[in-house]
Amino acid sequence: MTGVQTCALPISCRDAETLQLPPELALFPQRELNRDLYLWLIALAAAHDALDSDADWLAGNQRATLMALERYPGLQPRYRRLVAATLAARIAPAQLPPDEAVQETQLRQALHEPGSVLIWPAAARPLQPVPLWLYPAPARAAVKSPPHSRHSPASSANPAQPDRQRRRADRVDLPERKSSFLAPFRAESLLSWAEFIRVNRPTDDDPNPDAAQAANDMETLSVTRDGDQTASRVRFDLDLPSASADDLPVGPGVPLPEWDYRQRALLPNFCTVQERLARRAPPCELPAALRRDAQRLRRQFEILRPGHGWRRAQPEGEELDLDAWVRHAADCVGSGHSCERGLYRQRARQERDFACLLLADLSLSTDAWVNNKGRVIDVIRDSLFLFAEALAATGDRFGLYGFSSCKRQQVRVQRIKTFGERYTATVRGRINAIKPGYYTRMGAAVRYAAGLLNQQSAARRLLLLLTDGKPNDLDHYEGRYGIEDTRMALMEARRDGLHPFCVTIDQDAGDYLPYLFGNKGFVLIRHPEELPRQLLRLYTQLTLTQ
């Protein structure tokens, strides 16, 4: 791309991850045209995803335009109207210098007949912005932000809300500091202040809480790379336990695929899931603090236990089925004969044909504290205890597993209780032994859990996911990549007849869980300490309504 002007009009940018559209568009006098422009840019971005990312800006936009018009024929009339309105607002070639006139003429031809312009003529000045095309995302922002006062309403807003203010930025070299103990003083610097704040963008382990306010006080942000490696990844590698101290592996690792949304392909055998058993998990009794709640829940859930009932219209049984006899007699009177049918009642046990697998997120984030009352992992442990106590009372088949990950070759699934095991002191010992793990490669864990649940022959099978955050891992498994892979894993589970449902304590879950589970496929627990009680209530609703 040569000489493209990007500051006169609001333009749209895209990169491999995001599409950046202007917050508002008033390019055309007609409101309908501005709305059509938004729709067109979204369709164009979808077409760009299927093209080679290394394509030239001019050729790439033309090819994407052709593909968008071919995919969505209904956009053709709107595109023509947008082209006419755009060209009417541009400076005519006759009013431009010769070199710019040739460039403008070629652009108009490319808009009217996409794909017809292969050579981009050079000009002394950059081309006027083309609002119908997408630009590469700029490497640095150069948009002046409006004045922002320290006491303005924006600065007093909720600090948990994301900061969307645009600021002027300038890339500079890191200043040399020959000695950290020497602080040269200059009188003229009294009214100025500057400080470099380290931002470890891949990990962001220890963000400075005052960085946002400092950014608001600066007219220009100076950005640099210091070339130093962050220590968090090194610390994580050092924390990996040795084979003698690690949990016991159960069988060989299981290779599983992973969905790459960029390639639109399922990468075969991309991840390795290793099921593990806690090495030190002595059998134990239910913690004393939970015994009263467990006793109450067992009494409540025993209502769901299948009991003995009467099967009607049986060929043999303990008692006559009076309703069957009445129907038989009526048929004989009305037609003179009646087909032979069961006339007895038989007492038999009624079974609940239901299976549930609870998959708990045991990532490192569960080591965080909840309202200074305890850690998230403690809340999850109590939930597993009470969940197992209640389901043991119902007689439902259930399995308990946890998961965490450290890159794609170490997706660790913690076996707590299999479907074939009884709930005993051994299982309680495994629940008591759970601890925070590493990261959250959710797609692989969901695929593995779905495979276990698929082995159950129950008529209804529930995959219950308990988590405190979104999918993420060290090797680029974050952001949209992790979200898309998890969504594909959940779609695969639904195609197999499973019913995935998510229970989360992540307060930002509304940003991504509707995309993964649907609007009715998850629930947010706003007070994590209520998780054990809410989890059992949800299970009751799910088993009665599915």
Q: Look at residue 111 and tell me if it is in a domain.
A: yes
Residues 425 and 439 occupy one common structural domain: yes
Mean pLDDT over 408-424 rounds to: 94
Within-domain flag for 94? yes
Q: Is residue 491 scored above 90 in pLDDT? A: yes
Asked whether residue 398 falls in the same domain as residue 502, the answer is: yes
Domain-embedded: residue 97: yes
- When mean pLDDT is compared across 78-82, 221-225, 426-430, 431-435, the lowest value belongs to 221-225
Per-residue pLDDT at 120 exceeds 50: yes
For position 147, what pLDDT does the model report?
A: 42
Neighbours of 173 (CB within 10 A): 8
417 and 340 part of one domain: no
Which pLDDT value is given to residue 55? 63
The reported pLDDT for the residue numbered 168 is: 62
Question: What element of type H or E holds 412?
Answer: strand 411-417
Q: Is residue 35 domain-resident?
A: yes
Scanning 72-97, the segments in alpha helix (DSSP H) are: 76-89
Residue 6 lies in a domain: no
Whole domain around residue 328: which residue ranges? 307-349
Residue that is last in its domain, among 316, 349, 382: 349
Q: What is the Cα–Cα distance from 330 to 157, expressed in whole angstroms?
A: 77
Beta strands in 87-183 (DSSP E): 134-136, 168-171
- What angle do helix axes 376-394 and 288-301 make, rounded to 10 degrees? 40
- Asked whether residue 373 falls in the same domain as residue 513, the answer is yes
The pTM score is 0.55
- Residues 337 and 407 both lie in one domain: no
Q: Which of 265-274, 308-317, 383-392 has the highest mean pLDDT?
A: 265-274
> What is the CATH number for 282?
3.40.50.410
Determine if residue 195 is left, alpha or beta; phi over 0 gives left, psi from -120 to 50 gives alpha, anything else beta. beta
Residue 268 lies in a domain: yes
> Rounded distance, CA 322 to CA 325, Å?
5
188 has pLDDT over 50 = no
Q: What angle do CA 277, 281, 282 make, to 5 degrees?
A: 140
Residue 392 and residue 540 in one domain: yes
In a domain, 147, yes or no: no
The pLDDT assigned to 155 comes to 39
State residue 185's pLDDT score: 44
In a 13 Å sphere around the CA of 173, the CA atoms on its Cβ side amount to 3
- Shared-domain flag, residues 397 and 521: yes
Domain final position from 239, 256, 271: 239
Look at residue 205 in the predicted model and tell me its pLDDT.
43
- Overall number of domains in the chain: 4
* pLDDT of 159: 46
Q: Does 325 score more than 60 pLDDT?
A: yes
Boundary residue ending a domain (104, 136, 168): 136
pLDDT of residue 202: 45
Same domain, 323 and 287: no
Same domain flag for 69 and 199: no
Please indicate, yes or no, whether residues 202 and 253 belong to a single structural domain of this protein. Answer: no
The residue that leads in pLDDT, 221 or 389, is 389
Average pLDDT over residues 465-483: 90
- Model confidence at 139, pLDDT cuts 50, 70, 90, reads low
What pLDDT does 527 receive?
Answer: 83
More confident residue, 74 or 201: 74
Across the range 312-319, mean pLDDT stands at 74
Percent of the chain clearing pLDDT 90 (strictly above)? 30
Contact status, residue 34 vs residue 5, Cβ threshold 8 Å: no
Beta bridge partners of 467: 504
- Does residue 214 register a pLDDT over 80? no
Per-residue pLDDT, averaged over 24-40, amounts to 86
User: How large is the average pLDDT for residues 244-255?
Assistant: 87
123 and 230 together in one domain: no
Mean pLDDT for the stretch of residues 290-312: 73
DSSP per-residue codes, 485-546: HHHHHHHHHHHTT-EEEEEE--TTGGGTHHHHH-TTSEEE-SSGGGHHHHHHHHHHHHHHH-
The residue ranking higher by pLDDT, 456 or 537, is 456
Residue with tokens 């259930």: 398
Do 394 and 435 fall into the same domain? Answer: yes
In this structure, of 322-336, 450-464, 474-488, the range with the lowest mean pLDDT score is 322-336
Give yes or no for residue 255 having a pLDDT over 60: yes
Bridge partners, 258 (sequence order): 267
- With respect to residue 72, please indicate whether it lies within any of the assigned structural domains: yes
Cα 541 to chain center, whole Å? 25
